[in-house]
Copies of this chain bind each other. A is one copy, B any other.
Amino acid sequence: MKLALIQMAYSPDINSRIVQKIEEASKRADLIILQELHQSPYFCIVEDVRNFDYAQNYQRDLEFWSGVAKRYGVVLVTSLFEKRAEGLYHNTAVVFEKDGTIAGKYRKMHIPDDPAYYEKFYFTPGDLGFTPIDTSVGRLGVLICWDQWFPEPARLMAMAGAEILIYPTAIGFLEEEPIEEQKAQLERWITIQKSHAIANGIPVATANRIGFEKDPSGNFKGIKFWGNSFILNAKGEEIARASESDEVVIYGEVSREETREIRDIWPFFRDRRIDAYGDLLLRWRD
C-alpha cells in the first residue's frame, strides 16, 4: 500500500492548493490522506452558530472530492463537516474510491471539548461505530483526531481486519502555553499513536495541519497547529515524518506482510483475556 499524507496551512484558496498537492502525490501513491476539516479554518476555536455555514454545502463538497479522486485515480480520505439534518452535524471522514464512488465514511466517535477546541458544540458523536472501510488498496481503519488518544478504537479497528489506522487531525499548541509543555504534548501525541501500532501490529498514518489560526473571540491568541504528520510501520517505527511548519506531502509504503510478521512473534491477539475485560464497557468501576 503506497500512501501519501498532505499537510497544509489553512488559507481561503486551500481547496485548489490541496488539489495541486493531490496531483503531485498521485504520481507516487494510490492512497492519499488529508488533514481534519481540510476545507475550512479550524472553526471550533470558538462557539459561533455562523460556523455551521461551513457544513451547508456538504453535498456539493462530496461531489467536488469525488471528482478529484476520480480525476487522479486515487483512493482519497477526506475530512468534512457533514450536515445530516437541520441542527444535526458530524465530523465525518469520507473515503472515495479511485472511480469517484464513496467507499465508506466514518463519523468521529470521540468528540473533544476543551478551551479553543469546542467540538461538542458542533459535532454530534458518530453513530456508525468502529467499522473499517474497504477500498481497492486495502481495508482502512479510518478514525479522527481525538480518537487517537484512546486505545479502544484502535483495537476495535484492528480486530475488524483494518490494515492501517488513519487519523485526519487538527491539533496544535496554544501560544500561551510554555515551550516545555508544548514539547511534552507533542511527545505524548506521538507516543500514544506509536502504542496503537505496537499493541495491534498495525501501521498508522496521521495527517495534521500546520499554520497559526487566530482566536476570533480574543480569549486566546490562537492555535499554532503543530504539523508533524507521520507514517508508522506495523512495529510503530517512523517511516516518514513532516516538520511542524512546512506544507508538504510525505510518503510511505506499508504491507500486510509486515503486520503478519510482527504479530506472529508478538502475538498479543492470541492472549487477550476477553473473559476478564467485561468492565471495559463501564463508565467507571465504582
Residues of A that sit less than 8 Å from B by CB: 109-112, 114, 125, 129-130, 146, 149-153, 155-156, 159-161, 184, 188, 191-192, 194-195, 198-199, 235-237, 265-269, 271-274, 276-286
Contact = CB atoms under 8 A, between A and B. Distances in A.
A276 B130 CA distance: 8
A41 B278 CA distance: 35
A267 B192 CA distance: 15
Contacts of A125: 273
Given A155-B151, A184-B237, A191-B191, A276 B198 contact: no
A235 B274 contact: no
B160 A285 contact: yes
Contacts of A265: 114
A27 to B, nearest CB: 32
Contact of A277 (B152, B192, B237): B152
Contacts of A110: 271-273
Contacts of A282: 159, 274
Given A191-B195, A192-B198, A159 B276 contact: no
15 contacts: A109-B273, A114-B265, A130-B276, A149-B268, A150-B199, A152-B272, A161-B285, A188-B198, A188-B236, A191-B195, A191-B198, A192-B198, A269-B284, A277-B280, A280-B280
A191 B286 CA distance: 29
A206 to B, nearest CB: 15
Contact of A272 (B150, B269, B273, B285): B150
A278 B152 CA distance: 10
Given A199-B149, A272-B152, A280-B155, A188 B235 contact: yes
Question: Which of the listed residues A129, A272, A284 has the most CB atoms from chain B within 10 Å of its own CB?
Answer: A272
Question: Which of the listed residues A111, A112, A199, A273 has the most CB atoms from chain B within 10 Å of its own CB?
Answer: A273
A149 B286 CA distance: 25
Given A156-B277, A276-B130, A279-B159, A268 B150 contact: yes
Nearest to A286: B161
A190 to B, nearest CB: 9
A277 to B, nearest CB: 5
Given A191-B198, A265-B114, A146 B271 contact: yes
A230 B153 CA distance: 28
Contacts of A152: 151, 155, 272-273, 277, 280
